[in-house]
Amino acid sequence: MPLTYKFPYDIPLDRELISLGFESTSHTFGVGVVRLRHGFVDVLANVNSQYKPLKGGLHPREAALHHMEKAYPLLKQALREAGVGLGDVSLVSYSMGPGLGPCLRVSASVARFVASYYGKPLVPVNHAVAHIEVGRLFSGLEDPLVIYVSGGNTMIVAARDGGYRVLGETLDIPLGNLLDTFAREVGIAPPYVVDGKHAVDICAEWSREFIPLPYTVKGSDLSFSGLLTAALQKARRVGGEGLGAVCNSLRETAFNMLVEVAERSLLLTGKKSLLLVGGVASNTVLKWKLEKLAEAHGIPYYGTPPEVAGDNGLMISYTGLLTYLYGVSVEPEKAVVKQRLRLDEGDYPWLRG
């Protein structure tokens, strides 16, 4: 039995639609298949493969090579799991950006091919919007304040006046990037994530001590670069066993900053629920802090589960479907990718209400 969720938008539809989506903005290549019928969304398939560097960080070219290798087998697997053929698909969607150019091109190429060969409508999807929309689908929250944290993004977002508005964001590096870079520089990664736990979290368990580190909150904006530099300096000075305290303090400081700006935005917007999305949404400590925040304000909180928190094909296929229902599609020759695509610049007709 596929997972089924109530479609949160009221759009009359007398036929069923099947959407095939490709994700490849960064380290993940993913294929998702969803079906919309009778006001319910069925998740038919969500297969993803992550590029994991053996040393150092993510090299865009290496990641893109991984995606090219995985594209065909993953598509085949997704269709088999979904029990549909390419001919049955109603539309094809792909992640248009923001992301790494070489990676983005892979999903766009595959999607263009499938769409033109089988004569299917082609729908570009903003990756950040996909994270948010799939969070709204899974949580059933109507109009939440969204906290979107991943390796490439850190922002507080709310829907307002027919668009997504960014209330606060990082002025330099994103939260996921802060943790990854720190882990890499002090030599505890890669692998960045082991059994669903980040290297910094594992290391933080060695200590319960706190070292003061720079805390930079500017209104609802954040800055992590000074924190990173200071933490690295501390780590070099204490070395070895002292690293636990640095990891613990780094994590506590960074998360406190995020939760503080989330709280400020919550009061500013008056939203009545809290939604956490993006790769870092899997982090149990951050989840705990946001649960406490929601509890203090007496509002519901939902964090997307690991299989849709990180980058995945499902969120693209679902958001592609949603976009298509408002008549948006592009010709294959105009299906471009954009490395820089801001969340607050797009047009999202379903928010007009």
Partner 1 sequence: MAERVDYFNKGAEAVLYRTRILGLDCIVKKRLDKPYRHEAFNKVFKEYRTRVEARILSHLKSLGLNVPAPLIVDVSRGILVLEYVDGVPLSSLVDSMGREELGVVAGDLGRQVAVMHSNRVYHGDLTLANTLYGGGRVYIIDFGLAGYSDDVEEYAIDLHLLHRNLQAMHPGIAEEFMNRFLESYKQWYSGAFEEVRKRFLEVRVRGRYVDRELRKTVMRDRYVS
Under the rule (CB under 8 A), what is the footprint of partner 1? 97-98, 152-153, 158, 160-161, 163, 165-167, 169-172, 174, 210, 212, 217-221, 252, 256, 259-260, 263-264, 266-269, 288-290, 292-293, 295-296, 339-342, 344
What is the nearest approach in angstroms of partner 1 to the Cβ of residue 352? 13
| Residue nearer to partner 1 on the CB measure, 7 or 148 | 148
What is the nearest approach in angstroms of partner 1 to the Cβ of residue 332? 25
| Residue nearer to partner 1 on the CB measure, 109 or 153 | 153
| Residue nearer to partner 1 on the CB measure, 61 or 160 | 160
Q: Where are the alpha helices (DSSP H) in 41-156?
A: 60-82, 101-118, 127-139
What is the nearest approach in angstroms of partner 1 to the Cβ of residue 288? 8
Confirm if 152 and 159 have CB atoms less than 8 A apart: no
The one-letter amino acid at 113: F
- DSSP-derived letter for residue 261 is H
What is the nearest approach in angstroms of partner 1 to the Cβ of residue 324? 24
**Of 68, 60, 122, the residue nearest 339 (C-alpha):** 60
| Residue nearer to partner 1 on the CB measure, 90 or 269 | 269
Both tokens assigned to 101: 């150019």
Both tokens assigned to 241: 């066993």
Q: From edge to edge, which strands make up the β-sheet containing 40-50?
A: 3-6, 40-50, 28-37, 17-23, 91-97, 122-126
What is the nearest approach in angstroms of partner 1 to the Cβ of residue 58? 16
Element (H, E) at 186: helix 175-186
Element (H, E) at 258: helix 243-269
| Residue nearer to partner 1 on the CB measure, 1 or 296 | 296
